[in-house]
Amino acid sequence: MNGDDKFQDNITCGNRNWTDDLPICQFTGCGHSQNQVYLRDGRIKDSHGDYEKKLYCCYDLHNFLYSVCSGFNGVRVSDFCLSRMTADILLGGGIAAGKSDEDIKELLKTTFLSAEKGYNTSIDNLLATKQQLQFQILDLSQYEISQKYEDVLNRLNAINKELSIGSSVLIALITNKKLYIANLGICRALLVKNDVKNDVLRVIQVTVDHNLSNEDELLRLYGLGLDAGSLKQKISTTRCIGNYIGKGGYKDSELLSQASSEPISSNPEIIGPITIDESARFLLLLSGGLCKVLMELFSEDLNIVNKELVSIVVQQFNKQSTLVGVSQSTINHISQLHHDFYLKKKVSGDEYPFNARDDMTLMIRNFSFDMPNSIENNKQPSMASSLSGTPIANTNTSYSSTNTSINYSSYPTYMGNYFSSTFNMSDIEDHTDHLDAVSDSDDDLFQNIQENDLSEHYLVIILRQLIDSGEIHLLSHTPMREGQLPKITKGPNMEKLKESPLYNQIRSSSGFGKQVDENIDSKWSMLKILNNRQNYGTMLRNEKCKINNLFLPNQSERPLVRLDSKVFCGSFTRDGSRFVTGSQDQEIRIFDSSTSNYNELNHIQAKHVSWCILDIAFSPCSKYFAYSTWAECLHICPLSGEDEDIKCLNLNTGVNRFGAFSLAFSNNGKEIISGGSDASVYIFDRERNERTLKVPVRKDGLATDVNCVGFVDESSQLFYSGSDDACIRIWDRRCLNENDPEASGLLLGHIDGITYIDSKNDGRYLLSNSKDQSLKLWDMRHFSPKECEGNIRQVLQSRNWDYRWDKVPKSYYNATKPIEGDTSIVTLKGHRVQKSLIRAKFSPAATTGQRYIYTGCSTGRLIIYDILTGKMVGGGIEGHKDIVRDVAWHPKRNEILTSSWDYSVNINTFQDKSTEKKRTRGNVMPHDYMGDDDGNLMDIAPPLRRSRRIAQRQASGSSSSRSTERN
């Protein structure tokens, strides 16, 4: 499993990045509720995926970071902001001891500006694509565009939708007992303090909302030449990160084009420092969606809204036993109030003020407010008796960026004890235990850590997660030249393959005789094949394959699509009529592959995508596709469907973190098999709508990732699994006991994790790709001895490299002898398997006779191996700047599509590279030979130049004249 494939721990129904593995703040609770649409029949459904991201981190004993990113139109910007801005604040040394207040404020401001700049850089390719499409319809009327360029118009609309994604961002930083707030957009921060003199809780809105209810924002837009009044119902926020349409592209917007400069700003407001004194009770951070819901429920008056919210929070403090319970129960209560209000209006027949709500997040940072029923710390300063019934008051004025310093009395002694008494090394280890499982090193990074070294080791945690995520790549001391293939000193041993029935079967299906001594590289007669077709009325399938194999893809012709995120998978339907890609931008794109034009037919926003789409599979009827991601459910959708047609198939894994790395349909389409991160194989029955089988692949309970699964043949009774323990297991459902599962057989021979398995679909042969940098062919009738499994374990335990970033051991490429128990037919080497679960497959039976194996490569190449010779065809097809993770050969045409981490999908076809050496214009053969009528090969002389032909005719004419004269 690649760190990018298993990118950090994944939260359900949303992206997850390295920030989620930072130690959480023990004094903070966070509640969240995903968006909802209220249907007229009373039902509720999700409108879209979760667009909000949040963080509450205890960096060390003196520094705490909190963030709420409230995205709109998509999750991409909020996810980017959370990861990028957290790294800028924590990794840059800006919160180190000795920094002044102005230094901290400058750090926060720079962080926002850096995030805006970084995001704009990330959409360069998208902007270039938009410009290219606009050139195609330049100077055309709307009628011409709608009639002839509808696909271009649809793509432009999709790009504009992507460019409109943005996010409000709220950051709270507590460093050295001071609070700093930075915000942009409509997220809100409320500080609740105890006013002892008046015996009330005082609510202070620290931030200002950047929307058209803010007079300062109205004046700013008026100054730019906009009629802000006409924008009120159309613009939700006037400041944000992202939303290129309202910034660099505002001239293309009818709504904003009259502005003299960019109307949507990315300049944050910085508030603080605010000293946390003994009167501070708790801090509330609200997402934009929650702010909107509160105003719809209670009032447009912010004082009333804030007071109502704090009243609910105080009630929950007295009921709940944890801070998470307080925040989540508050969110649940508000969500229920909102829905009830809608139902009340519906029953009374009044006009609906709303019929949906956005995502809602509430973060509560407790300073000294007591919870009578607390199970976490019952020794907090007791104030419940005096505050539970205390009135709540609002301050009429908010802190603003002009208040450079707001100081209160000195920080109380008990607060310092409160922080230190519950924060120790065991807390850190509790939140980072899973990191040790990810690491292949036997050294414990947290061993013998002193408390004064915490910051340094937090940096280690963050760097490890950045490396796992692929944001940072480690280079070895002697780096390989990028794109270089390994040097293989010894060719494959072909003896077992040539003795196998597979060898003769492939020879026959690809147009050669069954005699092993017949040289497959010898020249053969095209005329003889054509004569047979003329005499017998048809051309045999193997003869078609023989001709077709002369025109193997040898060049990257053009990109099918260029995106702004990594492409993880791409696949054809069985009939080759559709091609689907899955990428890290959460989009599933469907293309018409019935012709080589590959027009885009549909794109669907995938649901519950935690970091990326890991695999896509088609139903046998080619009407549905299923995809998997970091979530405990699979998802299925019609090819012609829309976002809301995606259906969740819950696997009920029973584990906290789960990723399904591979999936496949059964032959009848009724079942879907998948393998995942909990060392188990799952089968989901579509008709019963439930998981019907769970098979742990290891009886000893040791952790391993199941990276690939599939059905062996058309019966769907046999299935296989390949995992990180280097074992391929064959399972027979007819004799499988789920309570005590036992594999029917093992295929041993690889010495590192299996990345992909492909079946020949004949019930006999498989091929496997592995992190040990090899491909192997297997005959499933010859299992490995079970006792040899221990040999594999010993090899894995002695392994000291990680394929995600380390240099490949030389022994992998030039092993002296196979491991004991290796029953593979042949082993092929020459490509690189690094960074991700790179896939390898059999070439199509209909067009090539399955003579070839083709695979992706971490050098950015497409690699094709000839099974009959064991050799690589050419030196691989170059065309990508990063790894090729998935490959797909069209079942009816010699076109291979490669999906790469360089954000593109390329179309690879045959290109005649020796045009200048062709012998005749009519010669369609890629080789310089033809056959005569008897089937014998003969060379064809090159055509004469025009001057020589004229001279030859003149000479011939003169000769004829002289002959006539003699006669």
Q: Tell me the residue type at 273.
A: P
Q: How many residues does the chain have?
A: 967
pLDDT at 350: 61
Q: At residue 398, does pLDDT exceed 60?
A: no
Residues 802, 833: Cα–Cα separation, whole Å: 11
SS3 6: coil
| Span 611-666, pLDDT tens digits | 789 999 999 999 999 999 988 899 999 999 998 899 999 999 888 788 999 999 99
pLDDT at 90: 86
Structure tokens at 243: 């939303």
Residues 79, 584: Cα–Cα separation, whole Å: 12
Q: What's the gap between Cα 109 and its chain centre? A: 30
* pTM of the complete model: 0.52
CA torsion angle for 810, 811, 816, 819 (degrees, to 10)? -150
pLDDT at 521: 64
- In the chain, the percentage of residues whose pLDDT exceeds 90 is 45
Angle at 304 between CA 303 and CA 309, to 5 degrees: 100
Residues 332, 362: Cα–Cα separation, whole Å: 11
Q: At residue 426, does pLDDT exceed 50?
A: no
Q: What is the DSSP string of 734-787?
A: GG--TTS---SEEEB--SS-EEEEEE-SSSSEEEEEETTSEEEEEETTSPPPGG
| Span 462-480, pLDDT tens digits | 665 555 544 454 443 333 3
pLDDT at 397: 40
Q: What is the mean pLDDT of residues 324-332?
A: 93
Among 1.20.200.10, 3.60.40.10, 3.30.70.1140, 3.40.50.2020, what is the CATH number of 18-366? 3.60.40.10
Eight-state DSSP code of residue 239: B
Residues 579, 821: Cα–Cα separation, whole Å: 40
Per-residue confidence band for 748, with pLDDT thresholds at 50, 70 and 90: very high
pLDDT at 387: 40
Q: Which helix (H) or strand (E) holds 315?
A: helix 302-319
Q: At residue 794, does pLDDT exceed 90?
A: no
Structure tokens at 362: 């509430």
pLDDT at 249: 84
Structure tokens at 397: 């004025």
Comparing CA positions, the residue from 951, 924, 953, 919 lying closest to residue 938 is 919
Q: At residue 330, does pLDDT exceed 50?
A: yes
Comparing CA positions, the residue from 679, 622, 689 lying closest to residue 655 is 679
For the chain, what are the domain ranges? 18-366
487 φ/ψ sector (left φ>0, alpha ψ -120 to 50, else beta): beta
Residues 167, 68: Cα–Cα separation, whole Å: 10
Q: Tell me the residue type at 563.
A: L
Q: Tell me the residue type at 641.
A: G
pLDDT at 433: 35
Mean pLDDT for the chain overall = 80
Residues 543, 550: Cα–Cα separation, whole Å: 11
Asked if residue 910 lies in contact with residue 552, where contact means CB atoms within 8 angstroms, the answer is yes
448 φ/ψ sector (left φ>0, alpha ψ -120 to 50, else beta): left
Q: At residue 791, does pLDDT exceed 90?
A: no
Residues 575, 588: Cα–Cα separation, whole Å: 19
pLDDT at 680: 94
Sheet of 624-628, strands arranged across: 615-618, 624-628, 633-638, 647-650
| Span 814-830, pLDDT tens digits | 776 888 899 999 999 99
Comparing CA positions, the residue from 48, 69, 8 lying closest to residue 656 is 8
The residue with tokens 């077992």 is 496
Structure tokens at 165: 């994604």
Least confident of 200-214, 758-772, 864-878, 893-907: 200-214
pLDDT at 228: 67
The residues pairing with 674 across neighbouring beta strands, listed in sequence order, are: 663, 682
Sheet of 826-829, strands arranged across: 754-759, 765-770, 774-779, 826-829
Q: Which helix (H) or strand (E) holds 904?
A: strand 904-909
SS3 886: strand
Least confident of 192-196, 298-302, 945-949: 945-949
